[in-house]
Amino acid sequence: MSPHAVHVSFGLVRNLEQLCKFSMSKNGFLPADAPLEILHDSYYRPWETIVYNLPALIDNGIRESISQLPLLGTDRLLSEAEWRRAYVILAFISNAYVWGGDEPEEVLPPQVTIPLLSVAAHLELPPILTYAAANLWNFSSIGNDFSSVDGLRTLVSFTGTETESWFILISVAIEAQAAGIITTLMEALECVKVRNYNVIIDSLEKLKGCIQAICVLLDRMYEKCDPMVFYHRVRPFLAGFKGMACAGLPRGVFYDEGGGNGNWHQFRGGSNGQSSLIQFFDIILGVDHNGHGSAGTKSYHEEMMEYMPGGHRRFLIHVSRQGSIYELAMKTPITPEQQRLRKTFIAAREALGKFRGKHIQIVTRYIILPSKQPWKGARSETRQNLVSQSTGSGDEQLTGTGGTTLLPFLKQARYETTLGGNLGQQ
């Protein structure tokens, strides 16, 4: 069901207004309207020309084209939509520059660095391709229902392939499909304090249904996303600059600000782990991922919050400080209502565990299996898969674009969601 068609009660209106304070909308973490497709000020035409022709330029020497760009300021960006469009453009350009050759380029030129640092600071994001740049702000729609993946298209692409577009748009549709549950769960959190079990139970039942619906969307990945094309042509451009010594970036990337100024940075690449939606579900259901970090350091999930737009990050912090549905549900049940709550809560959390299981299946099909098969297409259509060189060989050592060892990380996240299948025995 489209989030746009959800009936809004008085309580939900209040929370929808609150969402605006966190740079959110009726579409959840997606913008209220489809992202801006072009910066109309002709001053920014050089940027737009590069991204419009990005796939062809990557095939014919992207770095030379980027090196010829003029240094443009950001003072002519007037709206949030324009700032976001500029961020999408510059994030794609930066990753294309670094990864668009036979060897990675470790110095980002000033005409990319300076405006990228500016727009990233404005949006409270790191200056690299993130989930926000690749997914949240990189689509257009033929209608107002962003959950209809067949009615979406991408705005910027490294390869111009249907595979890359479909990979991105499935995530957009998932974000839209789940948007309506956000205010429902916010209302449920308010009911924890007054022990309104019926509202909380109803919300958890809706959450389970929502997760099942996005699982259906996730299964559609197989329709138009080719595993070999994704692994060998698309994935190399999504990599970050952290943990990439074996790929040729031992210090990360130097962000050259001109005049001998600049800094080395090691940023993680764009990843679905940067989706605020899934972390929101984790908070609601009390999933603890602290096992992903060593003592005295942030867990991977905590670190991923730094790769989310500032407003979205603050929203998750806000939600985490509200009442705990997990603690209420895990109290020893005495009344029939408490027993129903426990049962419904466990069902919702198991649904999230199944979603993570589907993610593992996708990783296996799109990364693990293709990593064992050489590219059989034209050599000009692929390049050395540098990101696959970032760790040792073997399935357990393959690294995600976000910089984690893929299978161990995902299996651990699934285990933590269901507590090894023993959630109901607590």
For residue 260, what pLDDT band results from cuts at 50, 70 and 90? confident
- Residue written as tokens 């005049």? 259
Separation of first and last alpha carbons in the chain:
34
For residue 411, what pLDDT band results from cuts at 50, 70 and 90? confident
Q: 95-128 pLDDT, tens per residue?
A: 999 999 989 999 999 999 999 999 999 999 999 9
DSSP state of 245: T
Average pLDDT, rounded, for the chain: 88
State residue 277 phi and psi, 5-degree precision: -60, -50
* SS3 (DSSP) at 259: coil
For residue 417, what pLDDT band results from cuts at 50, 70 and 90? confident
pLDDT of residue 243: 86
Residues of the chain with pLDDT > 70, as a percent, come to: 85
Cβ 210 vs Cβ 185: under 8 Å: no
- In terms of DSSP H, where are the helices of 378-421? 406-418
Q: 353-401 pLDDT, tens per residue?
A: 999 999 999 999 998 889 888 877 765 555 555 555 544 445 545 555 5
Round to whole Å and give the CA distance between 424 and 408: 24
Tell me: pLDDT of 94 over 80.
yes
Question: In 327-425, where do the E strands start and end?
Answer: none
Counting beta carbons within 10 angstroms of the beta carbon of residue 314, is it exposed (0 to 12), middle (13 to 18) or buried (19 or more)?
middle
State residue 87 phi and psi, 5-degree precision: -65, -45
Round to whole Å and give the CA distance between 155 and 408: 33
Round to whole Å and give the CA distance between 73 and 89: 14
Counting beta carbons within 10 angstroms of the beta carbon of residue 78, is it exposed (0 to 12), middle (13 to 18) or buried (19 or more)?
exposed
Cβ 86 vs Cβ 47: under 8 Å: yes
* SS3 (DSSP) at 108: strand
- Better-scored residue on pLDDT, 403 or 44: 44
Q: What is the pTM of this model?
A: 0.90
pLDDT of residue 10: 43
pLDDT of residue 246: 86
Closest by alpha carbon to 273, among 251, 300, 309? 300
Round to whole Å and give the CA distance between 303 and 292: 10
pLDDT of residue 418: 74
Q: 26-84 pLDDT, tens per residue?
A: 999 999 999 999 999 999 999 999 999 999 999 988 999 999 999 999 999 999 999 99
Round to whole Å and give the CA distance between 426 and 420: 12
pLDDT of residue 392: 47
Q: Give me the mean pLDDT over the 304-330 stretch.
A: 93
Residue 70 corresponds to which tokens in the numbers above? 């003029």
State residue 255 phi and psi, 5-degree precision: -90, 95
Maximum separation of any 2 CA atoms in the chain, in Å: 71
